[in-house]
Amino acid sequence: FPEYSDFYFGGIDYFRLVFNEDIQSEFTPRKNFIRSDPVDNQRGELEWDGGNLYYDSWKYEFKILKFSEE
């Protein structure tokens, strides 16, 4: 992402990654209930017919599925 190169140049450790390109974007399919994180959706969103499932209602885990030094 060349557009991020100036922002991330210098002063940041080697373990930082760019995950978010935008904030407050709509979901596809669109959510029917209020979002848990309206800004940048770092942990995902869940809902069911009865409403939104906030973060304290479910467990999540991040796993690296593939790593490449390209």
pLDDT at 24: 81
Closest CA to 51 of 35, 30, 38: 35
**pLDDT tens, 13-60?**
766 666 667 788 888 899 999 999 888 877 788 999 999 999 899 887
pLDDT at 21: 74
Alpha helices in 1-70 (DSSP H): 5-8
Which two three-digit tokens encode residue 67? Answer: 């790593």
Residue 19 to residue 40: CA distance in whole angstroms: 10
Contact indicator for 1, 18 with CB cutoff of 8 Å = yes
pLDDT at 53: 94
